[in-house]
Amino acid sequence: MVSVSDRVTLDATPPFGNEQLTDFSRVENAQAQEAALRQVESELGHTFPLIIGGERRFTDATFTSINPANPEQVVAVFAQAGEAEANEAVEAAWKRFQTWQYTPVAERAGYLFEAARLLRERRFYFNALMIYEVGKSWVEADGDTAEAIDFLEFYAREALRLGGEQPITPIAGEKNELRYIPLGVGIAIPPWNFPCAIMAGLTTSALVAGNTVILKPASTAATIAGRFVDLLEEAGVPKGVVSFLPGPGGVIGDVLVAHPLTRFISFTGSREVGLRINELASKLQPGQIWIKRAILEMGGKDAIVVDETADLDAAATAIVASAFGFQGQKCSACSRAILVDAVYETVLAKVVERARQLTVGPTVDRARFMGPVVDAGAFRKIQDYLRIGEGEGTLLLGGEALDRPGFFIAPTIFGDVAPNARLAQEEIFGPVLAVIRVADFDEALAVANNTQYGLTGALFSTDRARVERAVREFHVGNLYINRKCTGALVGGHPFGGFNMSGTDSKAGGHDYLLLFTQAKAISEKIG
C-alpha cells in the first residue's frame, strides 16, 4: 500500500477495486472478530474530547452513547460542544485552510491511502464498535467498514485524477489549463446508520479535495467517528485539518451551517433536517462572500416491483434482505413491495416465510440477523407506525416490540396496503414492510413513482421490454434489476437520489469530488 511519504501518482497507483467482505465461516476470522469485541468491551466508557484546530478540549457539558441492545451500558462519553465552540471551530478551520489548500494533491491522496491501510488492519475493531454502538450484525458491520475503505481508496484516486492535467481545447498563441481548487471550510454531518462508511466518505472526500472539515458526528454513533479521527491523525493528516465537534444538532447545527465562513455542508439524514440545512445555507449572512453548497442525502421510500415473469424465489429473498437488513434502518431499504396480482399471494407467502426465519437479538452473537433499532426515539416512532399499520393493512408477521432489554422490534409485514396509505408514503426507518397489490406492470410503475422520494428501487422481471421501460420510467437515482435494492458498491453504484431523496450527489462516483472543488481556468499568452 502507498505510503504518505511517497510521491503518489495516478499512473503508479493500482486500479481501484472493491474491498472483499470477510468470510466469517472461516475460524480465524470469527476468532479475530470475537477478540475485537472483547477489546471494545474493555474500552467501554472512554471519554472523548472535542478537537478544535488540532487542540483536544474537554467541556463541563457531556453526553453519552449507549448500547441499544443494552441501554444500561455506556459505550462512551463525549465532551459536548455549544455555540461558542461551534463558532470557534469554523474560525479555526478557516485559518487552517489558508495553508492546507496549497498542499499538493499527491500528499493529500497519500493520507487517504495510509488511512485505508490502517483501517484494513483494524477492520475487526471498527466492526466491533458498530456492533456495540448501533447494533449492526457482524455481516452488516463488516460491509460498513469495507465501504469506508473503498471510499478512502476511491477518493484518493479521484483526487489524483482531478489534480492532473485536464482536457482543454488548444488555442493558438495561448497556454491554457483548468485546475480544480478547493472551496474552503466544510461541515460534515453524517448519519448514525452507516457510522463508518458515510462518516468516512463525507469527511475524507472534502479533505482530499483540499478543504478543511468540521466533523459533527451523529450523537448515537460518535464513538466510531472519534476513533476514525484518531486514525486520520495516525495516518498523518496534519492537525487542524479535521475538527471533531460532537454535540446536539439542535444546539450547534444551525451555528455551523449559518456561519459566514462556512463554504459547504455535506449531510446525510432525515428529510426534515436536510431541508432545514438547505434553507439556512441559502440565506446570505453578514460578511459572507459566496453561495454555500449543500450536498444532501435525505432518505427514501424504496420499492421492489415484482411482475409475473420474475424469478419469484429470488424476488422474495431480495425483498427480505432489503427490508430487514440492519433492522430496515437504511435509506435504501425496501419499505414497499409492489406485487402484480398474478403473483401477489405466492410472493407474499414466500416473503413471510423467509422473514419468519430471521433471528433477532444482541448482535454480539454472530447468529443474529437483526439487532436493536438505534435508540428509544426510533423505538417509539416505529411502534407508532405499527399501530398505524393495523388500520391500513393486514398484519401478517410481527407487529410488536420484543419483551427483552434493548430496543428490539420484530420484523413486521403488512399486506394489502393502499398505495397512498401512510405506511406506503412515509419513511419509517425500521423493520416494517408494506406490501401493495397492483393489477399489472403499468400500475406497478405508477405506484413505484408515487412518493416524494426517489432514492433506490428494484425490478424483478424477465421481460426485456419491461426492464427497458423501468430504466426509462422508474424515477430513482439507483435502479437495480433482478437484485436487491440495498448494498451499493463504491465505484460501481454511484449513490444518490432524486426529488426529496436529496441532491443526487452520487457518492462513490466519478463526479463526486467536483462538489468540493471549483474550476479555475488559466490562460497565458505565449509567443
Catalytic residue among 297, 308, 427, 485: 297
pTM summary value:
0.97
**Residue 527 has what pLDDT?**
79
- Residue 154 and residue 73: Cα distance in Å, rounded? 36
Q: Is 107 a catalytic residue?
A: no
How many CA atoms lie within 13 Å of 389's alpha carbon, on the beta-carbon side? 31
φ, ψ (nearest 5 deg) of residue 401 = -75, 150
Domains recognised in the chain with CATH numbers: 44-166+176-298+505-524 (3.40.605.10), 302-489 (3.40.309.10)
Q: Is 439 exposed, middle or buried (0-12, 13-18, 19+ CB in 10 A)?
A: exposed
pLDDT tens, residue order, the chain (527 aa): 344 444 578 888 999 999 999 999 999 999 999 999 999 999 999 999 999 999 999 999 999 999 999 999 999 999 999 999 999 999 999 999 999 999 999 999 999 999 999 999 999 999 999 999 999 999 999 999 999 999 999 999 999 999 999 999 999 999 999 999 999 999 999 999 999 999 999 999 999 999 999 999 999 999 999 999 999 999 999 999 999 999 999 899 999 999 999 999 999 999 999 999 999 999 999 999 999 999 999 999 999 999 999 999 999 999 999 999 999 999 999 999 999 999 999 999 999 999 999 999 999 999 999 999 999 999 999 999 999 999 999 999 999 999 999 999 999 999 999 999 999 999 999 999 999 999 999 999 999 999 999 999 999 999 999 999 999 999 999 999 999 999 999 999 999 999 999 998 999 999 999 999 999 999 999 97
Question: CB-based contacts of 18: which residues, under 8 Å, 6+ apart?
Answer: 146, 150, 489, 490, 491, 492
Which pLDDT belongs to residue 11?
82
- Cβ atoms of residues 132 and 41 within 8 Å: yes
CA angle, 424 then 427 then 432, to 5°? 70
Active site residue 427: no
Query: Exactly one of 153, 158, 196, 331 is catalytic; which is it?
Result: 331
The 8-class DSSP code of residue 310 comes to S
Beginning with the edge strand found earlier in the chain, give each strand of the sheet holding 262-268 in spatial order: 55-57, 50-52, 242-244, 212-215, 185-189, 262-268, 293-297
Please, which residues have CB within 8 angstroms of residue 359's CB and are 6 or more apart in sequence? Answer: 367, 368, 369, 370
Residues in Cβ contact with 99 at an 8 Å cutoff, skipping those fewer than 6 apart: none
For residue 490 the three cell numbers come to 463504491
Residues listed for the chain: 527
Reported as type and span, the H/E element at residue 166 is none
Query: Could you tell me if 201 and 189 are in contact, meaning their C-beta atoms sit under 8 angstroms apart?
Result: no
Q: What is the CA radius of gyration of the chain?
A: 23
| Torsion sign over Cα 489, 491, 496, 497 | negative
**Side-chain half-sphere exposure of 421, counting CA atoms within 13 A:** 24
Q: How many CB atoms lie within 10 A of CB 503?
A: 18
